[in-house]
Amino acid sequence: MGKILVTGAAGFIGRQLSDNLISNDFEIIELDDLSTKPLLKPKESLLIMKVQDVNSDFLIEHNIESIIHLAAKKNVKDSFFNMDYSTENFDMTHKLLNASAQSEVKRFFLASSCEIFGYQDNILKERSTLKPHSPYAVSKVANEYLSDVYMMYNNNLKVTSLVFFNTYGPTEGIDAVIPNFVSKIISGDPIVIEGDGSQARDFTYIDDTIQVLINIIKSEEYFRYINIGSGKDISIKQLVSIIKNLKNNIEINYVDQRPNEIKTFVAENSIIKKNFSFSPKIDINEGIKKVIEYYDDLSRN
């Protein structure tokens, strides 16, 4: 049996997924260029390398049969101001797919994003219309078309796009909304809300995301797209209300909304429920409590 290559393996989802794959007896190669500093100290076994430098010789030499491609520049707002973000997302995926198509890789799990759908009135199904509202989302849509092209090129290569909504939890970087709010409160700074706070997202706790990912990777069932989300939306105002119940003396500053802000993202998640035993164990209240406890501990050390 071949090995699994995990890119972005030092990141929030990548680190915990890699650890769980190992505990499930998968042989993996963990790769990350550490261009984004992780909260957890990188493991000694981590291969520090750019995704763009992975070629077919590397994949063949390391007996790579599956790839979980999580590495990306993922800040939506920054993608409007840093043009390299979008081009790098496309470039690394293009080169990795090309190397995969010329080697023995059979399964390619591509980290996608609900941002590919943009704003739509209905709950978001896997095959909802692609309507990107940011350069970041455009790069992700381009990766979807690239995947289709390489599956035409090599019929043995199967790409599954893991369409992540908002996975959160301890060790997530403070560029994400929940750890951003929590870290500011603990440091005594005001929470900054972009817009009026009515925008809503679909939040899933990291442990629940990892469990369903493990089930997907273990399964021989194939889907081109799989939504990874709870199926429920929580507004920014609701998040603040939950945090207020756990922390006192919260100051809030309102600023202009971000460019092309999407009002709501909610996943239609019947595939992961019916086919991959998705049954979340951690609700948003308990999840945020765990994030607060983690950042409280960080502040004391």
- Whole-model pTM: value is 0.95
The answer to whether the beta carbons of residues 243 and 289 sit under 8 Å apart is no
DSSP 81-108: T-HHHHHHHHHHHHHHHHHHHTTT--EE
The position carrying tokens 């043995």 is 156
Q: What is the pLDDT of residues 153-200, one digit of tens each?
A: 999 999 999 999 999 999 999 889 999 999 999 988 999 999 999 999
Lookup: tokens for 64: 């790579």
What domains can you pick out in the chain, each with its CATH number? 3-167+205-228 (3.40.50.720), 168-201+231-266+281-300 (3.90.25.10)
What would the pLDDT profile of 96-128 be if each residue is shown by its tens digit?
A: 999 999 999 999 999 999 999 998 878 999 999
Could you write out the DSSP letters of every residue in 151-167?
A: HHH-TT-EEEEEEE-EE
Express as a percent the part of the chain with pLDDT over 90.
84
> 203: helix, coil or strand?
strand
Q: Which residue type occupies 146?
A: L
Distance CA 210, CA 150 (A): 27
Strand bridging mode 234-235 / 225-228 = unpaired
